[in-house]
Structure 1
Amino acid sequence: MNIRFRSRGWSFGFRSAIMLYFVLLIVLPILGIYTQSFKLGWTPFWESVSDPLAWKAVLLTLKLAIIATVINIFLGTMIGWVLIRYRFPGRRLLNSLVDLPFALPTAVGGLMILLLLGPNSLVGSFASGMGFDIVFHEPAIVVAMVFVTFPFVIRAVQPLLEEMDKSEEEASYTLGASKSHTFFHVIFPSMLPGISSGAMLAFSRALAEFGAVVLVAGNIPGKTLIASVYIFGEIESDNPQGAAAVSVMLLTLSFLILWAVNLVQTRRLGK
């Protein structure tokens, strides 16, 4: 009885510590943002959200995040496929490098993009010669978003490819189906839940990116100023109400995306 009582007490204390951590570091900051944005009422909130610069920053962020997500869907699916289905020298090294954007400070990632694609670089000079610039324009923002969200689709697709029953694929070939028909009708449906969840996580992450983007965007209001940098500027301008209002928009959208991801994963596990 004494041992059982101690075990229950330890378990209760552990659960309490986890809940305290969850409340202090997640729930309270989220509630603080919503409280800050609405504390002056609905009218100041709407004025902050409907500000032309804020609205343009949010729309630009959504547009570029969608572009980066689409790129990641194609790149992530192909890279995940190659890393699982093929064996070649350096595969393990490449597989470990996939997670580099998670480990690398995003500001360092932005500096890497600046050095690689900047006007003084080989790529940047070639682009300038062709009549367009990369850094301090929208393409650089897309590259930064792709970089920081690169692992999501790959890591979501790989487990599904590993768990896939190859007998269905072999049966399709035995029945005379082509490789493209087998891929799109047998393999791709099994990969689709991972692609969907990875894409939604990548999109949500791209919406909030700051460190890599701020170095390469130029941050021109109405042109290359994205939402996260706009929020930072509002804080620097001593306007927490405006910063919180835009933050609420992004936060609410992120909640909806995470809910959709959980729904997709629940349906996949239910099957």
Structure 2
Amino acid sequence: MSRQSRVIPGFGLSLGFTLAYLSLIVIIPLSAVFIKSMGIGWDGFWEILSSERIIKSLQLSFSTALIAAGVNVVFGLLLAWCLVRYSFPGKKIIDALVDLPFALPTAVAGIALTALYSKNGWVGQYFEKIGIEIAYTPIGITLALIFIGIPFVVRTVQPVLADIETELEEAASALGANRFQTVTKVILPILLPSLLTGFALAFARGVGEYGSVIFIAGNQPFKTEIAPLLIISRLEEYDYAGATTIAVVMLVISFLFLLIINLLQTWASRRTGRTAQ
């Protein structure tokens, strides 16, 4: 019996090119980072990592990225819902503005946010009167990460939401479900894989963000100094071991977190019978 041919031939060649490209672009550079950091030995690795300044910067980077990604999931879903389900004046303009953080240079975004939320800024001056500082605090960092991360959630959820047939909601309503039950039992389970994807993308972008954050962060050691800035500082001091050690820790934590997100996506996709976007 002849072997059944594939619908699209050339799988072996395509896989070979894929693995070679992935190795050259991702695996080999990341391996070099690990090898460089391991060259100082475990004692040197832990000595660098146990620095309070590094620990504080890692905590700040990951905590603000998590908070910003969580906020983007909520408001990104609401924005995507409005763009898909409603027609209103200026809809095309708002839809185009969603992609603006992709095109805007991160340094420009950081300067604009700093001018807006500083003590003398258009928005910051009003918060200053009630004793809340935004610029040069973790709050300002979180706002910057929300700004650059919102398109990932909207553009991930939007096509999935557009594919959901309104007949599903009508059927749920006909069967006696109220609006809250329709949202929680019908719509959200279908959107869950794409929401997790958007959350993961926004989180990954936030952890490694540099340009838009350094202007509004203030870069105060132990307070508002993010891990990417600390890596750049170590490189400028020719401390390659310290820079690669911080990078390795960020890579490992990010990889584990994204792996958990992917597992949750698979679980959610199996429950709904849909493939994660």
| TM-score, normalised relative to structure 1 | 0.89
State the partner residue of 1:222: 222
Q: CA offsets per residue over residues 196-254 of structure 1, 9 Å max, x none?
A: 12112211211111111111101111111111111111112221111111111111222
Aligned residues: 262
Q: How does 1:121-200 map to 2 (within 5 A)?
A: 121-200=121-200
Q: How does 1:57-136 map to 2 (within 5 A)?
A: 57-136=57-136
Shift of 1:21: 4.2
How far apart are the structure 2 equivalents of 1:173 and 1:190? 17
Shift of 1:269: 5.7
Shift of 1:177: 2.2
What percent of counterpart residues are identical? 37
153-162 or 239-248, larger mean C-alpha shift: 153-162
State the partner residue of 1:5: none
How far apart are the structure 2 equivalents of 1:257 and 1:138? 21
State the partner residue of 1:22: 22
Shift of 1:37: 0.8
Unaligned runs of 5+ in 1: 1-7
State the partner residue of 2:250: 250
8 Å CA contact 2:140–2:217 kept in 1: the answer is yes
In structure 2, relative to structure 1, the CA distance for the partners of 1:155 and 1:264 (3 Å cut) is farther
Shift of 1:122: 2.0
8 Å CA contact 2:110–2:216 kept in 1: the answer is yes
8 Å CA contact 2:189–2:268 kept in 1: the answer is no
Unaligned runs of 5+ in 2: 1-8
State the partner residue of 1:3: none
Q: CA offsets per residue over residues 134-191 of structure 1, 9 Å max, x none?
A: 1111111001111111111112211221121322210111123221221111111111
State the partner residue of 2:53: 53
8 Å CA contact 2:101–2:151 kept in 1: the answer is yes
In structure 2, relative to structure 1, the CA distance for the partners of 1:16 and 1:66 (3 Å cut) is closer
15-24 or 193-202, larger mean C-alpha shift: 15-24
8 Å CA contact 1:204–1:257 kept in 2: the answer is no
User: SS of 1:254's equivalent?
Assistant: helix
User: SS of 1:256's equivalent?
Assistant: helix
8 Å CA contact 1:232–1:243 kept in 2: the answer is yes
Shift of 1:17: 6.4
How far apart are the structure 2 equivalents of 1:180 and 1:254? 34
Shift of 1:121: 1.5
User: SS of 1:44's equivalent?
Assistant: helix
User: SS of 2:217's equivalent?
Assistant: coil
**Amino acid across the alignment from 2:218:** G
Shift of 1:86: 0.7
How far apart are the structure 1 equivalents of 2:20 and 2:178? 56
Q: Please report the RMSD computed on the Cα atoms of aligned residues, expressed in angstroms.
A: 2.2
**Amino acid across the alignment from 2:99:** D
Q: CA offsets per residue over residues 66-115 of structure 1, 9 Å max, x none?
A: 21112111111111111111111221221122121122211111011012
In structure 2, relative to structure 1, the CA distance for the partners of 1:268 and 1:160 (3 Å cut) is farther
Shift of 1:15: 7.3
How far apart are the structure 1 equivalents of 2:15 and 2:172? 49
How far apart are the structure 1 equivalents of 2:28 and 2:82? 43
| TM-score, normalised relative to structure 2 | 0.87
**Amino acid across the alignment from 1:210:** Y
